[in-house]
Chain A
Amino acid sequence: MYRRCGRSLLVLAISILLVPLAGCWSSNEIEDLALSTGLAMDKGQPAPVEKELEGKGSTYAKRNRVMVTIQVAPIKSKGNQGKDQSGKQSAYMNVSGSGDSIFEIFRQFSIRLDRPVIGHHLKVVVISVDLLRKQSIEQITDFLLRDNNIRPSTLVYLSDGPARETLISKMPGEVPSFHIAGMHRNQSRTSKVLDPVTLTKLDSLTHSRKSFVLQTLVTGGGEIQLSGAGIINGSTGRFIGSLNQEDTESLNWLIGGGDAGPIKAYDRNGQPITYELLSMKSKITPRTEGEQISFKVGIETEGRLIETWDEQAHPTTNEYAEELEEQFEEKLQEKMQNLLRKLQTKYKTDVAGFGQRLAIEKPAVWRKVKDDWDRTFSRSQVTITCKVKITDFGSFTEK
């Protein structure tokens, strides 16, 4: 009797367990969600659709300080598996809205879309420099760092023009935010691509109150280009100016981030000669004499002569290599001086990690100058020595 009672109790317990086995409490079908893959932020003004909606009196209490555009992809997960997907249908959809709380704007999208937006798969955030002239980067990324859906691995870029335009692509079937997220893979080909900045990195950069650069996107003809970088001032968090492609490349070499790409110079006959980087090393050494701080920068690179338009035959000898090395060193020096002039004279900001080197090697000195570092940096003396070593001439020799 007692045993039978126990057994039926066991059976009951087991059958109750069958119920929770069927699924997860807070599950969501992925088909019923709108995955946002890209996010663009522009200076505040009502988006075109919003203007019309507001014209009909559909509005809420807000100040237009930022315009947020999200990219939802794919817009249809069911139904377009058919083979005759002739590319007429776009693979993504952009929605814009403006206001003064990014979270609130996100929730406003929810009264316009048919599926809830989730941020788990957000890949890129593009911020227009115009917005960063008015708002600090800390203000506009606060929500992104707090949210539990958005991963801190999301990449952050700036945009010269309106940021929402970077999320538009002409190529059929392509999702622009995936395109942008993949662009940093070209680091192995050129040094004009900076190390991608994730939200985690951005958080540490803004919290440390040091100035830094973010790579800038430019759009034109339906295409996107990584074009230089924008400087964010550490103490204000505002955009203060940009570096062009070539300065960005030099900066990348200076901070030891890039070790690929060409250096092009012109030889005695005025013909282009091009050097391919195989390795690039830089070392910043701080020196202090009393109050005066100075830096010695040593840049060393090895590579090959990859192209020359000089029709005059040059023997593949060490003497010729040395002659070329000198020309490339001169070019490299010139590029570095251009960059330093911009940083020290024009923008008066250190984004190349001089401060970090000083903090590591002379912490006591750093403590004294760190509060006004950008100004101190712009007054310190920087000497650069470049050393180019040509190791080979490729698979083509001349006598």
Chain B
Amino acid sequence: MFTRTDDRITTSQAVVFLTNTVLGAGILTMPRSVTQTTETPDSWLTIFIGGAVILPVILLLVKLSQQFPGQTVFQYAGRIAGKLPGKAICMLLVVYFLVIAGFEIRTLAEVTLFFLLEGTPMWAIVLPFIWLGAYLVGGGINSIARVNQIVFPISMLVLFVSFGVSLRLFDINNLRPVLGEGLLPVFAGLKSSILVYTGCEVILTLVAYMEHPRQAVKAMIGGITIMLAVYLVTIIVVVGGMSVDSVITSTWPTIDLIRSFEVTGFFVERLEFPLMVIWLMQMFCNFCSFFFQSSLGVSQIFNVSYQPVIYGLLPVLFLSTMAPKSLNDLFHLGDAIGMMGIGLFLLVPVLLSLIWLVRVKGLKQHV
């Protein structure tokens, strides 16, 4: 069982894979980014609606992939749209994954530098992670899925213990009034709440590796439900504990919440350190997932073998990590990634599905 090399993942592994791909650095800044746009305590409603909006997107991604069993988007895009256009679209996807991978590692480094290792050079934090990632990604999807399976319960446990202890600061009045300004602010924040789901494009390749592709819909909806639950709990606990005014002015609101109290007599007095250290593992999984997608993409688009591509992408990833010049640049990049995500969604699954529909149903072609 532990020597599987057949590049197939079980349904539960697929759930965790999707969850760990999306849940990363976002959770540290999400309460601020969403609350800044709503400016009311209703940001949890926004997150909820964001989840509802993302659900049909997930369904579309899964249904499209299920039409080509055993094939990733990098393989079937050419079959749908023609060889060259297909390759062009896939390259965009690869670039997108590379940018997110760099973004995740950079955020990880920024948080670590600010709170944990002041004085350590950026590259000394970034390089080990990238190298370690290369080692893991070299093992294929199965190894990544297994690491995800190990990390996920640990990081969730630590996150929820931290949140649980932070309930001493929780004041329900911080979340009231509900809909005091009407529905408008809730929808104003919708954009930022959809952005926290960026990364779910991995479904386009994930389904191909599932042992039971028929269970893909169930698995992916399961993954999204877990994420929605984690995001909801996060925003309710953070806004409830700190109030809207404090969340808006905090760079890392989730960490600041945990930094706002000391638990004397607990086995650790300051929970932000365990939380940050464990969350580094979560962000590492996140990074590896995108690293894997982009390596896979390059190798399948250009028909080159997979292992050398990984090493070829290392410098690209390092550049992508070091590109933002400041923290502000990094946050702007985060927004830009969200916009790219929406653009790519229109370009890849929607366009491909339309072409596929026209060709199969309309022109009765065999794709």
Q: Tell which of B5-13, B190-198, B200-208, B242-250 binds the partner.
A: B242-250
Beta-carbon contact of A359 and B177 below 8 Å? yes
Contact residue among B115, B118, B262 (Cβ-Cβ distance under 8 Å from A153): B262
Beta-carbon contact of A200 and B120 below 8 Å? no
Contacts of A361 in B (CB 8 A): 177
Contacts of B244 in A (CB 8 A): 204
Closest-by-CB residue of B relative to A198 is: B260
Beta-carbon contact of B246 and A204 below 8 Å? yes
Contacts of B259 in A (CB 8 A): 151-153, 200
Closest-by-CB residue of B relative to A199 is: B260
- Answer yes or no: A207 CB below 8 A from chain B CBs: yes
Beta-carbon contact of A25 and B117 below 8 Å? yes
Cα-based distance from A367 to B181 in the complex (angstroms): 9
Give B256-276 interface residues, CB cut-off 8 Å to A. 256-257, 259-262, 270
Give A15-47 interface residues, CB cut-off 8 Å to B. 24-26
Beta-carbon contact of B177 and A360 below 8 Å? yes
- Answer yes or no: A208 CB below 8 A from chain B CBs: yes
- Answer yes or no: B67 CB below 8 A from chain A CBs: no
Contacts of A208 in B (CB 8 A): 243, 245
- Answer yes or no: A363 CB below 8 A from chain B CBs: yes
The contact string, 1 if C-beta is below 8 Å from chain B, for chain A 345-377, is: 000000000001001110100110000000000
Beta-carbon contact of B270 and A151 below 8 Å? yes
Beta-carbon contact of A204 and B114 below 8 Å? no
Contacts of B218 in A (CB 8 A): none
- Answer yes or no: B362 CB below 8 A from chain A CBs: no
Interface size class of A (residues with CB under 8 A): 20 to 34
Cα-based distance from A361 to B261 in the complex (angstroms): 30
Closest chain B CB from A368 CB (angstroms)? 13
How many residue pairs link A and B with beta carbons under 8 A? The number is 67
Beta-carbon contact of A148 and B115 below 8 Å? yes
Cα-based distance from A92 to B249 in the complex (angstroms): 34
Closest chain B CB from A206 CB (angstroms)? 8
Closest-by-CB residue of B relative to A358 is: B177
Beta-carbon contact of B260 and A153 below 8 Å? yes
The contact string, 1 if C-beta is below 8 Å from chain A, for chain B 170-181, is: 000100110011
Cα-based distance from A361 to B117 in the complex (angstroms): 46
Cα-based distance from A361 to B176 in the complex (angstroms): 9
Cα-based distance from A217 to B112 in the complex (angstroms): 37
**Chain A CB within 10 Å, residue with most, of B114, B124, B246:** B246
Beta-carbon contact of A200 and B260 below 8 Å? yes
Cα-based distance from A366 to B118 in the complex (angstroms): 45
- Answer yes or no: B119 CB below 8 A from chain A CBs: yes
Beta-carbon contact of A26 and B120 below 8 Å? yes
Closest chain A CB from B198 CB (angstroms)? 27
Closest chain A CB from B257 CB (angstroms)? 8
Cα-based distance from A153 to B165 in the complex (angstroms): 14
Give A135-171 interface residues, CB cut-off 8 Å to B. 145, 148, 151-153
**Chain A CB within 10 Å, residue with most, of B114, B176, B245, B249:** B245
Contacts of B270 in A (CB 8 A): 151
Cα-based distance from A363 to B173 in the complex (angstroms): 13
Closest-by-CB residue of A relative to B116 is: A26
- Answer yes or no: A314 CB below 8 A from chain B CBs: no
Closest chain B CB from A246 CB (angstroms)? 26
Contact residue among A25, A204, A356, A367 (Cβ-Cβ distance under 8 Å from B242): A204
Beta-carbon contact of B245 and A363 below 8 Å? no
Contacts of A204 in B (CB 8 A): 242-246
**Known contacts A153-B259, A200-B256, A360-B173, A25 near B124 by CB under 8 Å:** yes
Beta-carbon contact of A153 and B261 below 8 Å? yes
Beta-carbon contact of B176 and A360 below 8 Å? yes
Contacts of A148 in B (CB 8 A): 114-115, 118
Contacts of A205 in B (CB 8 A): 245
Give A335-349 interface residues, CB cut-off 8 Å to B. none
- Answer yes or no: A267 CB below 8 A from chain B CBs: no
Closest chain A CB from B238 CB (angstroms)? 11
Cα-based distance from A390 to B227 in the complex (angstroms): 51
Cα-based distance from A25 to B116 in the complex (angstroms): 11
Closest chain B CB from A241 CB (angstroms)? 24
Contacts of B260 in A (CB 8 A): 151-153, 198-201
Cα-based distance from A120 to B152 in the complex (angstroms): 30
Beta-carbon contact of B120 and A25 below 8 Å? yes
Cα-based distance from A218 to B278 in the complex (angstroms): 44
Closest-by-CB residue of A relative to B176 is: A360
Contact residue among A151, A201, A360 (Cβ-Cβ distance under 8 Å from B246): A201
Give B209-263 interface residues, CB cut-off 8 Å to A. 242-246, 248-250, 256-257, 259-262
- Answer yes or no: A203 CB below 8 A from chain B CBs: yes
Closest-by-CB residue of A relative to B182 is: A363
The contact string, 1 if C-beta is below 8 Å from chain B, for chain A 208-226, is: 1000000000000000000
Instruction: Give 11 A-B pairs besides A152-B259, A200-B259, A363-B177 with Cβ atoms closer than 8 angstroms.
Output: A24-B117, A151-B262, A153-B262, A200-B169, A200-B242, A201-B260, A203-B249, A204-B243, A204-B244, A204-B245, A204-B246
Instruction: Using CB atoms and an 8 Å cutoff, list the residues of chain A in contact with chain B.
Output: 24-26, 145, 148, 151-153, 198-201, 203-205, 207-208, 356, 359-361, 363, 366-367
Would you list 22 pairs from A and B whose C-beta atoms are within 8 A, ordered by A residue? A148-B115, A151-B259, A151-B260, A151-B262, A152-B259, A199-B260, A200-B246, A200-B257, A200-B259, A201-B246, A203-B245, A203-B249, A203-B250, A204-B245, A207-B245, A208-B243, A359-B177, A359-B180, A360-B177, A360-B180, A361-B177, A363-B180
Q: Which 3 pairs, one residue from A and one from B, show the smallest C-beta to C-beta distance?
A: A363-B180, A26-B119, A204-B246
